[in-house]
Structure 1
Amino acid sequence: MTRIGAVIVDEEHDTAFKQETGLRYNARDLAVVRAKFSGAVAVLGSATPSVQTFYNAEIGKFSRLVLPRRIKKRPMPEVSVYDLRQTKGLRGPARIISQPLHRAMRETLDQGKQVLLFLNRRGFAGHSVCLACGEPVRCRHCDITLTFHQAQHAYKCHYCGFSRPETMTCGVCGASTIRALGIGTEKVEALTRDLFPSARVSRMDRDTTSRKGSVKRMLKQVRDGDIDILIGTQMVAKGHDFPNITLVGIICADLSLDFPDFRAGERTFQLLAQVAGRTGRGDSPGRVILQTYNPAHFTIQAAKDQDYRRFYQREISFRKSLRYPPYAFLVQLKISGRDRKKTRERAWKIGKTGHALQAKHTRFSSTITILGPIEAPLARISGRYRWQMIIKGLRVRTLHQFVRQLAAIPSLRFNDREIRVAVDVDPYLMM
């Protein structure tokens, strides 16, 4: 393309723009650079822009264009919050689909409208334990519990694909008393079918849309009115137009809120606001019932009131106090290997050398902070043990100089095939 006039990035906040393996880059940022080189305008569009993008608009680096109203001046959906702590002591479906949500679903279906239920966790149960010894059912290759998939009669790892049959015995004590705990979209689907046996229920997640064209077919079924209740993960939140959906039920809004990641609040707000925006897009007004264990959390409150600026002001204050982006630049070193001891030793060696290099030069010690090295929250994936180190810099050029000098030290062996060291500039996932 030689005559580019505009580069448009829709849903610019979407983490899918960041390539996390191989050549790591952010397609959104590359689009901005490409537009600049071509003398073109770059448009970053989103109803829930990333904190970084909104900050750039606030300081005048970007121009902000606001659409203050929905199309045809349709009202924003009414959002109500249900405190899931009230379900303590309840049994059966009421612990997952609360009585207010159940009533609202019945009323919506009686009106001939459609319902969307959102839960960002696929499978039937995300955690299973042996009732005899209490040991969780773990993946053989990752430090993660297996997710039970009832439709496939198997326990599966969502990171490496390892699976074990439903009829397995405990790997520790040999007992066959395995109990599936927690919830996933499969369980929500089963409960919904029990509560509304005459409703046409479909589930939209990675398990049901793996075949080519399946997403397009399911979206057409929703638009044609062939589905009464749609249950889905974040796939259903990505800009789809469902004019006849007038109720969105968010089963549990807290799943991503407590991740060990400084962007956890941002991602949670974006996800909740985006899924809430799937309702009320037709002639009938929409409503949202948001179920949560943390109703007072500022992210939940801002999502309830659909108030992006209030969320941004709290979030940007937090980022500033801890010197996280956009007030600093980040580089993440990801150290991984199949030998646990060697991986740990290499991580500590890189960390010790990095701290020494930082202290040796004033330009580094005055602007750079090193966090770690520390074992990654997911300490092993696909048989590889994982450590990480976060390097913060107040000036991007100095930060990159520091990382280049560190990587050039021969004894650290950044190019070693046995113990891999990946350099991730502007990392998006801290797991």
Structure 2
Amino acid sequence: MIAQVIPARRMPLSLPFLDYSVPEEDKTKIKIGQLVKIPFRNKEEFGVILNIKSSGALNIKTKPIKEIIFSEPILSKEQLNFLIDISEFYHVSLGFLLKGNLLPLQIRKLQKVFSSERLGAPHTNKPAKPQVFIHKNEEEKKDFILDKIKTGGQSLILVPELTAIAKITNLLPSNILDRSVTITSELKTKELFAKWLQIWSGEKDIIIGTRTALFLPWFNLKNIILTDEGNPNYKSWDMAPRFHTRDAALFLSKHHRAELSILSHTLSVESYYFAKNKVYNTTDDLQIKSLNKTTEIVDMKSQWRGGNRSMMSTDVLEEFKKIKTGDVVFFLNRRGTASYVGCADCGNVLRCPHCKLSLTYHQDKKILVCHYCKFSEPMPLACKNCGSVNIGTRGAGTQMAEELIKKITEKITDTRPVIRLDSDENELGKLENKEDKVIVCTQLAWGHLPWDRIKLFVYLDADSPLFIPEYKIVENLWQQLRDVQYRLNPESSFLVQTEHPEHQVFKSLYSPDLFYSEQLAERRVLGYPPFKYMLKLLTSNPKSAILDKETAQVQAGLINLTKGVSGVRILGPLEMSPYYSGGQYRQVILAKIGYENYKQNTKLLVANVPENWKIDPNPNSLLSE
């Protein structure tokens, strides 16, 4: 008898499992999903039984399994199949995924598992279509969650980021919290062991967590509830596997035959389209309503025509003066003093000599800095291109905003302290102070802001994302603006400054369906999701000539591979932005894949690229990271 065992360690993609013989005394005990100890090279490793065969290949000698750690399967067949799907789709070692799905494997602690009896059993319901629910407030969200989890079995509630866990636990009553545990990547080993065991045994059946919680010992999973679906933080972009939590939840739902519910106050463009076209079920006609009619769009061009050259409009200044108590937030998408420096005469923009991206001016040190490779140089006195001294800054950063707002508060005798929070000044503990304050911040502080105390929220410069050539960048701005509308108290004020008040993203705040219809029209023409599935393949090399040769070979191979495959188009290779970063030249190959067989064709493509390439299915960006 031969057992196919997944070693609980990173293995080559070509070796997802290894064959081991089953000792005679264990043949009646062996089960799929059991934790075993196996010989591996010159030591012993843990592994999990993937499959059992009556015999192996002829004339191939296999080593025997050393020990069955305990009789009950540590992972279900359904969870093992989920891990295989994720491994093949995202080009990640199956052993690496398995290790992340297991509890911290420490011999002395495993005795606790021996004495535990797992409760519950898998159900065999046919998986339904994902259900979409749009909520207008937290009370509607709470009622939906409570209705779903009352049926029993294991329930998984997913959140996009750590700070969102408290929002969920604050919604739920104490009797539900008694049945729940929270799972994040920040748990210490001792905490993780205790919680893992509570889930495995069935002692806790409601799990609240980030994407890490997908990889748990599910034996009776009935409900998966994805909250705040439109949040772009659900996408993992900086480490493998680079999955979108919604996509991985679809895999998990399929293998466990669990019901997937998608909750949001503002759906992503893809989910809106799939719900409209009945790929997902909906509870109503899918009308996304305006959240806050008091949002004011301030036209900065009219301010400048009127002689106001400040980064703060007269509308914002007057509103600020009126708000005497509570917190005020001035939000910007960038740190530093200005977004870029350019010559007013020839139009030359000062760029990093390595990354070719615009340099950011930092007024406190009077230097220009590249936020990608950390290159810096003094602010020049004249244009390097034409010699003109008419050099100026454009856009605004948190440092400039902080200085301006401090001057204003002094002038109007506002005694509230002004605090800045960005990647340079990141002491988030400042927000815990209950005294009234003025906050100048970037996205870093978003999930930590005291939303219930904010009386005025000002988006100082909403234009920076509008003309970046990435197809999801405007959607990210839309999600951000809608999130402010959702989180602010009804009596609070929200002002957005822009030079382009006619843009769809601002007009749609009063008519949300307009945003989706215009975005879908653009994406249909360009062949972007949800009309095609996107796959991004990235690689880099310190020598551009070697990089060019490798990417050309891979591109040619993929084109040849898909000659007879309908609905697959290979694009590139293309230079990334920045092209040179961290001592590496970077390129990307893109694949547009029809949804008819997108899983099968994605697996085909990723199986035929070098193992050292980065694989990014359903990317948030195409030419940048």
Aligned to 1:60: 278
Question: 1:57-99: per-residue Cα shift (whole Å, max 9, x none)?
Answer: 33334344589999xxxx83501212222244677x7431011
Residue 294 (structure 1) aligned with residue 503 (structure 2): no
- The match for 2:527 is 323
Moved more, 122-131 or 51-60: 122-131
How far off is 1:30 after superposition? 2.1
* Structure 1 residue aligned with 2:619: 427
Match of 1:246 among 439, 455, 474: 455
Would you say how many aligned residue pairs link Structure 1 and Structure 2? 395
Query: For 2:295, what is the secondary structure of its paired residue?
Result: strand
> 2:282 and 2:314 mapped to 1: Cα distance?
42
Letter in 1 for 2:313: S
* Correspondence for 2:574: 374
User: What pairs up with 1:314-353 in 2 under 5 angstroms?
Assistant: 314-353=518-557
**% identical aligned pairs:** 24
- Deviation digits for residues 83-129 of structure 1 (CA, Å, limit 9, x no counterpart): 222244677x74310111111111123xx243221111111222246
1:233 aligns to 2:442 (yes or no): yes
Q: What amino acid sits opposite 1:97 in the alignment?
A: M
- The match for 2:467 is 258
Cα offset, 1:404, TM superposition:
4.5
- Selected match of 1:48 from 258, 266, 269: 266
* Aligned match of 1:146: 359
Out of 390, 396, 402, the position equivalent to 1:189 is 402
> What's the TM-score, normalizing by structure 2?
0.56
- Following superposition, the deviation at residue 232 of structure 1 comes to 1.6
Alignment of 1:260-275 (within 5 A): 260-275=469-484
Q: Is 1:99 equivalent to 2:314 in the alignment?
A: yes
Contact 1:117 1:232 in 2 (8 A): yes
Partners of 1:77 and 1:286 within 8 A in 2: no
Aligned position for 2:376: 164
- The residue number in structure 1 matching 2:128 is none
| Offset, 1:165 | 6.5
For 1:410, the equivalent position in structure 2 comes to: none
**2: CA distance between counterparts of 1:134 and 1:55?**
41
Structure 2 residue aligned with 1:37: 255
What are the Cα deviations for residues 138-178 of structure 1, in whole angstroms up to 9, with x where unaligned? 44643323323345665433223x253658999979x9x88
Amino acid at match of 1:76: N
* 1:119 and 1:185 in contact (8 A); partners too: yes
Q: Structure 1 residues 373 and 317 mapped into 2: Cα distance closer, same or farther (>3 Å)? A: same
Cα distance 1:333–1:170, how it changes in 2: closer, same or farther (>3 A)? farther
CA distance in 2, matches of 1:183, 1:311: 27
In the alignment, does 2:425 pair up with 1:208?
Answer: yes
> By how many angstroms is 1:188 displaced?
0.9
Which secondary structure state, in structure 1, belongs to the residue aligned with residue 590 of structure 2?
Answer: strand
TM (norm. structure 1) is: 0.79
Structure 1 counterpart of 2:586, one-letter code:
R
- Matching residue's letter, 2:245: A
2:291 aligned with 1:82, yes or no?
A: no
How much has 1:392 moved relative to structure 2? 0.5
* 2:517 match: 313
Please list every run of 5 or more consecutive structure 1 residues that lacks an aligned counterpart in the other structure.
Answer: 408-413
Distance 1:383 1:169 in 2: 29
Pick closer, same or farther for the CA change 1:338–1:132 going to 2, 3 Å: farther
Aligned-partner residue type, residue 598 of structure 2:
V
> Are 2:368 and 2:379, in contact at CA under 8 Å, matched by a contact in 1?
no
1:7-32 CA distance string (max 9 Å, x none):
34333323222222341222332234
Contact kept in structure 2, 1:243 and 1:279, CA below 8 Å: yes
Paired residue type of 2:246: R
SS in 2 for 1:20: coil
Q: String of CA shifts for 1:219-260, please: whole Å, max 9, x gaps.
A: 322xx2331x22222244448552232322111212112121
In structure 2, distance between residues paired with 1:308 and 1:139 = 39
Instruction: Name which structure has the greater RCO, CA cutoff 8 Å, separation 6+.
Output: 1
Measure, in 1, the Cα distance between the counterparts of 2:309 and 2:266. Answer: 32
Distance 2:508 2:477 in 1: 11
The equivalent position to 2:605 in structure 1, one of 403, 410, 423, is 403
Of 432, 440, 444, which aligns to 1:220?
432
> Over aligned residue pairs, what C-alpha RMSD do you find?
3.5
- Tell me the amino acid that sits aligned with residue 225 of structure 1: E
TM superposition shift of 1:302: 0.8
Tell me the distance in 1 between the aligned counterparts of 2:540 and 2:301: 40
Amino acid at match of 2:376: R
